[in-house]
Structure 1
Amino acid sequence: MTAADARPATADEVGVRYEQDGPVATVTLDRPNVLNAQTPAMWTELGNISQKLTGDVRVVIVRAEGRAFSAGLDLSVARGDGDSSLARLAQLSASECADQIAVFQTAFTWLRSPSIVTIAAVQGHAIGAGFQLALNCDMRVLADDARFSMAEVALGLVPDLGGTKRLTELVGPSRALEICVTGRRISADEADRIGLATAVVPRAELDAAVADLAAAVLAGDAGAVSEIKALLTGASARTYAEQDRAEREAQTRRLSELLGSGE
């Protein structure tokens, strides 16, 4: 979390590429020289990408160049004395600070949209903001060299980019607490064992595995996939009776769209 720079960001600072191939959009973190450490300029561009998606996009792949997915917050920015520093953010009023963090969060939270399925392709380290970026995706395909860490505690901070709820849903509150308060590294094998990984593959096979998963998603009916994502995403907040009702309503919509209302 940092306040946005007043000056225009350079291409290197932005460090995000966007490409679309039919129904598949690919977002690439592209600052490999600093292990894709994240800046407010990157978050602004990530947020802008949500506005670039055309209606035919069904799958969004989030990947990274180089040997790491993301080393997290760029500490040279966070500890600097510019407008993009933690010190400047701390000088804001409580409401202004919360509002600025809310803007940062939108760079991550759009990945949860029920209209798309999002897949993170993770190699090397995914630390702090990098871990949370992967957590905001629906699925995480890990290379066997992947390492997760929620390292905010080392800076005296908390994870604030939309990762805590998803982490808790995936591994449970006790394990989530342990991961966040220790900031320890989680190997790909452990991530697979505790439910953080959808799949773990050799590093050389990461791109192909993600492409295969995207193709499998696209093979399903678009409307059904969207409804299924919404059902599963909201399931933890519903009672059994509420979930049963949500299933009935979703199925009614599907039948109406596929076969007509019958009226």
Structure 2
Amino acid sequence: MTFSTLLYQLEDGVATITLNRPELFNALNTDLLKELTEAFRMANQDPEVRVVVLTGSGKAFCSGQDLREAGQLLTEQPKLEVEVRERYNPLIQQMYAMDKPTIAAVNGVAAGAGCSLALACDMRIVASQTKFTLAFVRIGLVPDSGASFFLPRLVGVGRALELLTTGRDVSATEAVEIGMANKLVPASELENETMQLAKQLAKGPTRAIAMTRKMAYQSMESSLDEMLEQEAIHQGESGRTRDFLEGVRSFAEKRLPDFKGK
């Protein structure tokens, strides 16, 4: 499929989705939101894809809503609930429903819904110049695009409320310190570090990783007994995979496993 607002590349099991509106700091407009949703759906359905990386072209990761489209709200009766339900929610729901791990390579500012996109990925590697800004409150709005769901789970309710109600900037260093990001690297090493992690995951037992991902999110809203049962169910499923047999054989033969994601 050909995209006009993003780049899509598949190599060694890693699908890299690059927001490609650098002249507007990769601001989100109608076309980009639709194409992003389709790109994640396509990656999820492609058996050759085992990991997805999301990043931005140019100096920014994503500056949030395209202000040129948002300007229409000043002359029209705002119907933001429709905007959020029809344009943003399908993308976040698709990202959350992925069967493959997702990594955000945050190469610069991630503001508003752009910050939410980074939070919706499973892991975040950030360049030193990265700045997270949940700026919704600065213009009298509440967080959207999943920020109210993901941020408290990453940093705790108290810290999340502080960030969401003040809208202050979070540096790359602080983001790692508070658990908002996984790793901080120099800008020149961002792509290499991200791909190193992505390729490591791509060589892993894809189905077991998918189930592990699902269980980690489930655990946030489940009891211990419920999670123990989920562990039993998914252990049974993973034990019937080809990768489990390969893992046992490779251990016995004292060699590295050759997982196929099957």
Q: Give the TM-score range, shorter chain.
A: 0.7 to 0.9
2:86 counterpart letter in structure 1: V
- Which structure 1 segments of 5+ residues have no match? 1-10
- Secondary structure class of the residue paired with 1:28: strand
* 4+ residue segments displaced more than 6 Å: none
Is residue 2:10 matched to residue 1:27?
no
Q: Does 1:65 align with 2:67?
A: no
Identity of aligned residues (%): 33
RMSD: 1.9
Deviation at residue 99 of structure 1 after TM alignment? 4.8
Match of 2:41 in 1: 51
Match of 1:5? none
Give 1:195's match in structure 2, choosing from 140, 156, 179: 179
Q: What TM-score do you get using the length of structure 1 for normalisation?
A: 0.85
Alignment of 1:100-179 (within 5 A): 100-104=83-87, 105-179=89-163
Listed one character per residue, the Cα deviations across residues 115-158 of structure 1 (whole Å, up to 9, x for unaligned) are 11111010221000110010110000000111101001112111
- 2:55–2:106 contact (8 Å) kept in structure 1: yes
Map Cα deviations across residues 38-73 of structure 1 (whole Å, 9 max, x no partner). Answer: 112211111121332213211111011111111111
**How many aligned positions are there?**
239
Q: Is the 8 A contact 2:59 2:108 kept in 1?
A: yes
Describe the shift of the 1:174–1:79 C-alpha distance in structure 2 as closer, same or farther (beyond 3 A): same
Q: Name the amino acid aligned to 2:20.
A: D
User: Contact conserved, 2:100 with 2:206, CA < 8 A, in 1?
Assistant: no
Q: 1:204 aligns with which of 188, 202, 207?
A: 188
> 1: CA distance between counterparts of 2:14 and 2:75?
39
Rounded to whole Å, the distance in 1 between the matches of 2:161 and 2:111 is 16
The answer for unaligned runs of 5 or more in structure 2 is 246-262
Tell whether the 8 Å contact from 1:143 to 1:203 is kept in structure 2 after alignment.
Answer: yes
Which one-letter code corresponds to 1:152 in the other structure?
F
Alignment of 1:222-261 (within 5 A): 222-258=206-242
1:47 counterpart SS class = helix
Shift of 1:222: 1.1
* TM-score calculated relative to the size of structure 2: 0.85
Distance 2:161 2:115 in 1: 15
